Amino acid sequence: METLLPLAILLVVTLLLCAGILIVTQVLGPKNPVPSRFEAYECGIKPESGSHVPFKSSFYLIAVLFLLFDVEAAFFLPWALVYKDSLAEGPALLWALLVYLGLMAVGLVYILQKKILRLN
Amino acid sequence: MKEAVFTFFSLFTLLTAAGVILSRNIIYSAFNLVLCFFGLASLYLLWGATFLSMIQILIYAGAIVVLFVFVVMLLNFEKPTEQKTRFSIIVLSSAGVWTLALILLRVLSKSLGEIPSLETPAKASVRTISKLLFSQYLWPFEVLTVFLLALIVGIFVLARPEKEETP
Amino acid sequence: MTLIDFIIAALKAIVILVAVIQVVPVMIYVERKVAALIQDRPGPNRVGPFGLLQPVADALKFLLKEDPIPHYTNRLLYTLAPFLSLIPACLVIAALPIADKAVLFGREITIQIADLDVSLIYVLAIGSLGVYGILFGGWASNNKFSLIGSLRSASQMVSYELPLGLAAVGAVMVFGTFSLREMVIQQEGTLLGILPNWGVFYQPIGFLIFLVASFAETNRLPFDLPESEAELVAGFHTEYGSMKFATFFMAEYMNLATMSGLMTVIYFGGWHLPWVSDAKLLEILGSQNLLCIIQVATYIFKVSVFMFLYVLIRWTLPRFRFDQLLTLSWGSLIPIGLINIVVSAVLMYVLGGK
Amino acid sequence: MILAEKLTSMAYWSHFVSIALFALGLLGFLTRRNALIVLMSLELMLNAVNLLLVQISMRTGTSEGIVLVVFVITVAAAEVAVGLGIILNLYRMKKTVDLGSFRNLSG
């Protein structure tokens, strides 16, 4: 509760700021609708088709790899928190790290040798 | 005060969850999903589970839904291609689901109502959780890493980019 | 929590937010002046003395422009997208400890909006939400340039979040806490008698990774692929005009300020003056509030050094190619980050803690 | 507990929120035919369970529930990664993500 409230206040202030920006531009800006102003900008040429064309799925691979590595990296954080305190009790956590990192490195090497990141 | 904040964020979470399953346009579903996870994170924060609240935003809102939005953008359906579900199915499943929910609510409030709740809820500190995770639950944790590694390899087999696709 | 606490929290939020927003006009001016200096031309010099009022003119121009919503766009998401990138940028600053505390009306007020015990993860988590503004903005614009720009930009931001997280892991290992405030407090004093006791001396590699990744996270040159104007017109904000366009830029500059603030806090001792301890300073000054002002000034100075570095690098380095960008993150920064963690862990074990 | 007491207790309403979230997820899972939304509904159901776990964990002052949630989050991430990979492949086959058009995959 004590931690949530300041954040909630900040969120409210930010939302007010956003609403203010929106309203001020609507009030101050001139209205002069010229038809060409509402077309998609493609360097002056009339757009041939809609923009919604399918893309290469390499982008999906990047996002998926990010998700998986993000999960792994997120679990590093609690490990790092207790590591310093655990040093007094021997290297148990160091071994845990090495096993964990070894597995993560195998994954990383696998990605890199697949050369999937070369999008062109 | 706490009740008001709790009510607000619960309603927010439930409304956005309803938005996820009711939206016609997938991008709105994804957007509602982000807001829903945000509401859940706020509820965790309200109860004092700070670490989990941040992990919720970091992984769910920051990574999982990004993946959903990526897929929506990659597939790029101009119009919703989904066919309408038959009305009878909707009626039947809603009746079933809400009956189940009522039963669950009864059972839970009966069995969990007995649990004495602490006067001032103990703050499960980040340190306690981390210690627990890396002592008692160390092995499940390592197994999870192996699982993630297998996943990385599996994903490549699943989502191999095809040569003839347009860039 | 009483009413007075509530009011104090609200005032703190408003004051700090407004103060951080002031970064935007200052940076507009500095950026244009430095660019002019490097390119050997005078730069803005018409509005006000030395062109100092140029940011005001810029802001007025943005506000007074027509704000058309192109047809075939998704109106709701198109309008929301700039704010989706501004809101996380504003929320992140809650976790930054700007100074220790001030005493006002017999109350101790910490100069930080929310003193979370997980503020480091908070910054990383909320920072990762910034990607939605770009994704939705590009998708809603219904323009091929926007869509390609937003996909590229999102891939870039997503790829560079990992090195950022790994660098943060190194810092957490050394300090043994997630709280940025605690980190700053631990950086007081000197190391080996000569150096200030700053994080950068414990985690030099981590700092470099963090620096490079923060350039990419804020979409600055040499990593400004999403807006590479020569290739993609203007990237994900091709269709944006008026204040909506300016909102994206506000978010960018605020992210710049947060990243600089974060580096100051984690690696450069936050509000501490080097070689002088707070207790000694308090003795000399004799007032907690004066000390607080000095701390704020120190913090702002350190942050502005970083901001200046950002501007300098923007106008001196050329842009990366997209595949080079991804290879830099996945092929170099992440492996180096992992090695950094292992080396730090082993060193800490050998030296028996800090 | 009598009804009036129930309605003012926050614990009761917390259960209610968690179960309502689960029910919404289940409803979406059963009625929607868009594969992506079905996957999102699964996420909602997992989150409903997480919510209950966190809440009980915080009420009783133990940390086991939170550790369990950490594992659930990992599994959820894995599920999404694989699920979306499958959906991408299905889309390549039929150019649609409507689940009704994949009936011929069974048996």
From chain B, pick out residues whose CB is under 8 angstroms from the CB of C74.
27
Question: Do D and B share at least 3 CB pairs under 8 Å?
Answer: yes
Q: Quote the distance between the C-alpha of residue D72 and its chain's center.
A: 11
Q: What is the pLDDT of residues D70-107, one digit of tens each?
A: 999 999 999 999 998 888 888 877 777 777 777 776 65
From chain C, pick out residues whose CB is under 8 angstroms from the CB of A83.
173, 176, 345, 348
Beta bridge partners of residue C103, listed in sequence order: C108
Per DSSP, B64 falls in state: I
The answer, yes or no, to whether ipTM is higher than 0.95 is: no
Asked if pLDDT for residue B166 goes beyond 50, the answer is no
* Domain extent listing, chain A: 4-114
pLDDT of residue B165: 47
Neighbour tally for C40: CB within 10 Å:
6
CB contact under 8 A, D97 and B104: no
How much is the average pLDDT of C51-78? 81
From chain A, pick out residues whose CB is under 8 angstroms from the CB of B73.
55
Neighbour tally for B132: CB within 10 Å:
19
Query: Largest Cα–Cα distance of chain C, in whole Å?
Result: 66
Which of B 83-142 lie inside 8 A of A, CB atoms?
126-127, 129-131, 133-134, 138, 141-142
Q: What is the pLDDT of residues C270-308, one digit of tens each?
A: 888 887 777 787 888 778 888 888 889 999 999 999 999
pLDDT of residue C332: 87
How much is the average pLDDT of C100-119? 82
How big is the CA angle at C258 (ends C253 and C263), to the nearest 5 degrees?
Answer: 125
Q: Which residue has the tokens 């639950």?
A: B137
d(CA C316, CA C221): 9
Specify if D84 maps to a domain.
Answer: yes
How much is the average pLDDT of D5-29? 83
Mean pLDDT of all residues in chain C? Answer: 84
User: Nearest C-alpha of chain D: how many angstroms from B39?
Assistant: 11
Radius of gyration of chain D (CA): 18
Which chain D residue's Cα is nearest to A75? D70
From chain A, pick out residues whose CB is under 8 angstroms from the CB of B155.
61, 64-65, 68
Is A97 touching B (CB cutoff 8 A)?
no
Q: What is the pLDDT of residues C304-350, one digit of tens each?
A: 999 999 888 888 887 777 778 888 888 889 999 999 999 998 888 88
pLDDT of residue C60: 84
pLDDT of residue D50: 93
How much is the average pLDDT of B6-16? 92
User: Nearest C-alpha of chain B: how many angstroms from C201?
Assistant: 26
Choosing among A9, A14, A60, A104, which should be mutated to test the B contact, i.e. which has the most B CBs within 10 A?
A60
From chain B, pick out residues whose CB is under 8 angstroms from the CB of D45.
none
CB contact under 8 A, A96 and B50: no
From chain A, pick out residues whose CB is under 8 angstroms from the CB of C141.
40, 51
User: Nearest C-alpha of chain C: how many angstroms from A6?
Assistant: 6
Specify if D1 maps to a domain.
Answer: no
pLDDT of residue B164: 45
CB contact under 8 A, B45 and A3: yes
From chain C, pick out residues whose CB is under 8 angstroms from the CB of A18.
83, 86-87
Specify if D95 maps to a domain.
Answer: yes
Write out the residue range of the structural domain in which residue D73 sits.
Answer: 10-100
User: Nearest C-alpha of chain C: how many angstroms from A12?
Assistant: 10
User: Nearest C-alpha of chain D: how many angstroms from A50?
Assistant: 17
Asked if pLDDT for residue C44 goes beyond 60, the answer is yes
Asked if pLDDT for residue D1 goes beyond 60, the answer is no
Mean pLDDT of all residues in chain A? Answer: 79
pTM: 0.90
Range from A21-30, A95-104, B5-14 that averages highest in pLDDT = B5-14
- Count how many domains chain D has: 1
Q: What is the pLDDT of residues B123-162, one digit of tens each?
A: 568 888 888 888 888 888 888 888 888 888 888 777 765 5
d(CA C233, CA C60): 25
Q: What is the pLDDT of residues A67-113, one digit of tens each?
A: 988 998 888 888 888 888 888 777 778 888 888 888 888 888 888 88
CB contact under 8 A, B30 and D43: no
List, as one string, the DSSP characters of chain A.
-TTHHHHHHHHHHHHHHHHHHHHHHHHHS-----GGGGS--STTSPP-S-S-----THHHHHHHHHHHHHHHHHHHHHHHHHHHHHGGG-THHHHHHHHHHHHHHHHHHHHHHHTTT---
CATH number of the domain to which D14 belongs: 1.10.287.3510
Asked if pLDDT for residue C353 goes beyond 60, the answer is no
From chain B, pick out residues whose CB is under 8 angstroms from the CB of A93.
134
- H/E stretch holding C48: none
pLDDT of residue C176: 87
d(CA C111, CA C300): 13
Which of D 17-36 lie inside 8 A of B, CB atoms?
17, 19-28, 30-34, 36
Q: Is A44 left (phi over 0), alpha (psi -120 to 50) or beta?
A: left
Specify if D4 maps to a domain.
Answer: no
CB contact under 8 A, B66 and C116: no
Contact partners, residue D103, CB within 8 Å, separation at least 6: none
Specify if D25 maps to a domain.
Answer: yes
Going by pLDDT thresholds of 50, 70 and 90, the confidence category of residue D25 is very high
C262 exposure class (CB count in 10 Å sphere: 0-12, 13-18, 19+): buried
pLDDT of residue B78: 57
Specify if D81 maps to a domain.
Answer: yes
Radius of gyration of chain C (CA): 21
Is D96 touching A (CB cutoff 8 A)?
no
How much is the average pLDDT of C211-226? 79
Asked if pLDDT for residue D41 goes beyond 90, the answer is yes
CATH of domain A4-114: 1.20.58.1610
pLDDT of residue B167: 43
CB C303 within 8 A of CB C260: yes
Query: Which residue of B5, B64, B165 is in closest CB contact with A67?
Result: B64
Query: Which pair of tokens denotes residue C304?
Result: 């502005």
Nearest Cα residue to C282 out of C269, C294, C270? C294
User: Secondary structure of chain D: what % helix, strand, coil (to 5)?
Assistant: 85, 0, 10
Is C129 touching B (CB cutoff 8 A)?
yes
d(CA D12, CA D19): 11
